[in-house]
Each structure stands twice: as structure tokens, then as C-alpha cells.
């Protein structure tokens, strides 16, 4: 079963790019090892729980949004 390290999953308004102002589900991955000085989500670096892909999809598809952004962390 495939898994990802999750820092948080939430529903909000996209604040950047071509989808700015649109409702969006966000999947913030944990475990980033880059340590960028300008990072605004350093709290996600250590990571959090490990979730299955099925749990992630179940959570994000419950949001009333047609867009999903995967951000941060690492996917392996």
C-alpha cells in the first residue's frame, strides 16, 4: 500500500497563480530536507503522520472544491 508523510490537509482559498481566489484542497507533505531559508512552513519539515493514498484521497474528495494542490515535503 502506498503512503505519504503528511504535515496537514486542509480546505482554503488559493492565494497564488492562475487559480487565485478559487476554493482548493491542499495536501501539505512533511519531511522536507531542503531547509530553504525563505520557507514559510518550517513547521512541516519534521513531518507528521504517514497516511495511505486511499485515506488522503478520501479526505480531500470530501472538500467542496474541484482543485487540489500538493505542496511541500517529499513524495518518497
Which helix (H) or strand (E) segment holds residue 66: the answer is none
For residue 60, report the phi and psi dihedrals to the nearest 5 degrees.
-75, -30
Closest alpha carbon to 9 in 27, 30, 31: 27
Note the pLDDT of residue 33: 83
Note the pLDDT of residue 1: 66
Q: Per-residue confidence at 74, pLDDT binned at 50, 70, 90?
A: low
pLDDT tens readout for residues 14-71 = 999 999 999 999 999 988 888 889 888 888 888 778 999 999 999 999 999 999 999 8
Higher per-residue confidence, 73 vs 65: 65
Amino acid at each position: 500500500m502506498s503512503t505519504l508523510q503528511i504535515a496537514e490537509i486542509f480546505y482554503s482559498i488559493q492565494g497564488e497563480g492562475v487559480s487565485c481566489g478559487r476554493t482548493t484542497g491542499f495536501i501539505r507533505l512533511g519531511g522536507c530536507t531542503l531547509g530553504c531559508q525563505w520557507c514559510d512552513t518550517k513547521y512541516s519539515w519534521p513531518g507528521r503522520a504517514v497516511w495511505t493514498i486511499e485515506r488522503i484521497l478520501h479526505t480531500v474528495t470530501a472538500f467542496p472544491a474541484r482543485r487540489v494542490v500538493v505542496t511541500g515535503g517529499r513524495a518518497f
